Structure 1
Amino acid sequence: MDSLTQIVLGAAVGEAVLGRKVGNKAMLYGAIAGTIPDLDVLASFFTDNVTALYVHRGFTHSIVFSLLFSPILAWIVTRYESYKNFKNWTWLFFLAFVTHPILDAHTTWGTQLFWPFDLRLAFKNIFVVDPLYTVPFLVFLILAMRQKRTTAKRRFYNNMGLILSTSYLALTLLLKWAAYTKFESALATQNIDYIDIDTRPSPLNTILWSANVQTEDAYLLGNYSFFDSQPITFESYPKNHDLLGSLVEDKSVKQMIAISEGWYTITKENNTIYFNDLRFGLLSLKPKSTNFVFKYKLEVDPTGKVSFIEAPKDSNDGKKLLSELWQRLKGN
């Protein structure tokens, strides 16, 4: 999830653990701990794109990280804070750390909660930024912050924020199931044979859902809004995996295929090969668009090493997409 959401979650968890003992300091330390796992993005400054993507939401988003670093931070804090209970500080940091990747596991990118095992949890039931999850949560956190640390109102507001956000998260799982059944029904009605289907919410909402459908030689991409009155339609995108040729044996290429979980197409434009990660869809809802959110140009140096260069995006793409999403969300 986005940084603000993780700050709010961490602060609420910190308050739940130590709010009555240390007041707003519990929120402060919880908020700090809630952002620490995302420091793995700094890897992009020290390594190539593929490696940075591979380690993102890896070790720092694992239970192992939470277990190792929560007592370390607790020890540091007890060196200078007047409240010296090492066990309670450890619980605060552990819960703030571990709830971060648990929430991230509900997004499309997912997380390696059980690192070092090569298992990425990605339930794909909430977009990385969702105001309906974050805003009510933030409002209740602010209300709690304004109360004295020992009052029942403070605990009530904080608990309400945690309950409402968690309930909404549970609701998105039900919405995902409902959208999934609609896509399944549409495929059956249109007599489309498929190998696999993957669904996710569109940006900033859980009303409009997208599906990637794998067939033998192509991927079908479709959208469904709960306000739709017309049947679901699908756009076909050839896999073109053969365009990789011998590059498919390159280590970086293999890593990118693993990162995309096999949901990718290869396109060739002006003798340049592009790797398109389908999991995050397109920057346009227009038919036959090839403007994928994550599109990488493959460059091969004289030694045969392959580099992935993210294709530049037009600054207006985001605005156009939001406008298209709003229109599509209201139904077809």
Structure 2
Amino acid sequence: MDSLTQIVLGAAVGEAALGKKVGNKAMLYGAIAGTIPDFDVFASHFADTVTALSIHRGFTHSVVFSVLFAPIFGWLVSRFERHKSFKDWSWLFFLAFITHPILDAHTTWGTQLLWPLDLRLAFKTIFVIDPLYTLPFLVCLVLAMFRKRTSHKRRFYNTLGLTISTAYLALTFLLKYMAFGAFQEALNNQNIDYKNLDVRPSPLNTVLWSANVETKDAYFLANYSFFDTQPILFVSHPKNHDVLGNLAENEKVQRMIAISEGWFTIREKEGSLYFNDLRFGLLGLNLNSENFVFQYRIDVDDDKVSFVEMPKTNRDAKKLMAELWKRIKGN
């Protein structure tokens, strides 16, 4: 999830763990702890694109990290805070560390919660930024913040925020189930013979859902809003995997295929090959577009292969936002 959401979650968890004893410092340290797992993004400054993608939401988002580092941070904080309980501070950091990847596991990218197992948990029920999850949570946290640490209302507001956020997260599973059923029914009605169906929420909401459908030689993309009145439209994008040729055996290419979980297309443009990761969809709602959120140019120099991520602009984001609201209301 986005940084603000993880800060709010960490602060609320910190308050639940230690707020009655140390007041707002519990929120402060919880908020700090809630951001620490995302420090793995700095790997992009020191590693190539493929390695950085492999590291992201790996070790720092695991149970192992939470268990090993919570006592270290707990001991450090207990050395200079008035509240000296190593156990209490360790418990706060553990809860903030472990809830971060659990929440991230509900997004499309997922987490390696069970690292070192090569298993990425991705329930794909919520977008990385979802105001309906974050804003009620944030309001409750702010209300709790301005109450005395021993106040019953402080605990009530914090518990209410945690309850609302958890209930919404649970609701997203039901919404995904309903969207999955709608896509499945449409595929059957249109006699599309498919191998796999992958469903995820569109940006900022859980009303409009997107689907990737794998067939033998192509992927079909589609959108569905709960307010739709017209049949679901599926648009085909050729896989073009054969265009890779011998590059398909390259170690970095193999790693990128694994990272994308096999949901990728290859596009040839102006003498270069482009790797499109389909899991995150398009930079817009035009299903015929080739402008994918994550698109990488494959550079080959003396048998050395590298992936270069294509930049996104503010114009792309503004266009998506304009299209999104209109599409959510139905077709």
The verdict on a shared fold, with TM-score over 0.5 as the criterion, is: yes
Q: Distance in 2 between matches of 1:122 and 1:311?
A: 24
Q: Could you tell me which residue of structure 2 aligns to residue 109 of structure 1? A: 109
Number of the residue aligned with 2:125? 125
2:19 maps to which residue? 19
Which SS does the other structure have where 1:316 is aligned? helix
Q: Distance in 2 between matches of 1:322 and 1:256?
A: 29
CA contact (8 A) 2:221 2:287 kept: no
Alignment-derived partner of residue 329 in structure 1 = 328
- Shift of the alpha carbon at 1:84? 1.1
Name whichever of 277-286 and 146-155 sits farther off: 277-286
* 1:9 alignment partner in structure 2: 9
Runs of 4+ in 1 over 2 A off after TM superposition: 312-315
Aligned residue type for 1:316: R
Q: What secondary structure does 2:193 align onto? A: coil
1:250: how far off? Answer: 1.0
Q: How does 1:202-241 map to 2 (within 5 A)?
A: 202-241=202-241
Tell me by how many angstroms 1:315 deviates.
Answer: 2.9
Q: Which residue of 1 aligns with 2:295?
A: 295
Cα distance, 1:110 vs structure 2? 0.2
CA shift at 1:312, angstroms? 2.6
Residues 127 and 204 in structure 2, CA contact (< 8 A), matched pair in contact too: yes
Structure 2 residue ranges without an equivalent (≥5): none
> Is the partner of 2:153 in helix, strand or coil?
helix
Report the number of matched residues: 331
Q: 2:266 maps to what in 1? A: 266
Distance in 2 (alpha carbons) for counterparts of 1:212 and 1:256: 18
CA RMSD of aligned residues (A): 0.6
Give, in angstroms, the shift of residue 287 of structure 1.
4.0
Alignment partner, residue 315 of structure 1: 314
Tell me, in whole angstroms, the C-alpha distance in 1 between the residues paired with 2:95 and 2:255.
31
Q: CA deviation at 1:325?
A: 1.1
In structure 2, the residue corresponding to 1:236 is in which secondary structure? Answer: strand
Match of 2:152 in 1: 152
2:174 matches 1:161: no
Matched position secondary structure for 1:88: helix
Q: Give, as a single letter, the amino acid of the residue that structure 2 aligns with 1:38.
A: D
Supply the distance in 2 between the matched residues of 1:56 and 1:156 (Cα, whole angstroms): 35
Cα distance in 1 for partners of 2:74, 2:324 equals 45
Q: How does 1:42-53 map to 2 (within 5 A)?
A: 42-53=42-53
**Counterpart Cα distance in 2 of 1:286 and 1:32:** 39
**1:305 equivalent in alignment to 2:311:** no
Indicate the residue corresponding to 1:54 in structure 2: 54
d(CA) in 2 for partners of 1:75 and 1:284? 48
Q: Distance in 2 between matches of 1:129 and 1:314?
A: 18
Task: Report the Cα offset of residue 288 of structure 1.
Answer: 1.4
Q: Provide the identity percentage.
A: 70
Give 1:275's aligned residue: 275
Alignment of 1:247 onto 2:210? no
Q: Deviations over 1:198-244 (max 9, x none)?
A: 00000000000000000000000000000000000100000000011
What is the one-letter code of the residue matched to 1:75? W
Distance 2:95 2:186 in 1: 42
2:271 counterpart letter in structure 1? N
CA distance in 2, matches of 1:87, 1:317: 48
* AA in 1 matched with 2:65: F
Classify the secondary structure of the residue corresponding to 1:57.
coil
Counterpart-to-counterpart distance in 1, 2:165 and 2:145: 17
**Alpha-carbon distance between aligned partners in 2 of 1:327 and 1:185, rounded to the nearest angstrom:** 24
- The residue number in structure 2 matching 1:65 is 65
- Aligned-pair CA distance for 1:314: 3.6
Q: Is the deviation greater in 279-288 or in 240-249?
A: 279-288
> Which position in structure 2 is the counterpart of 1:141?
141
Amino acid paired to 2:97: F
- TM-score, structure 1 as length reference: 0.99
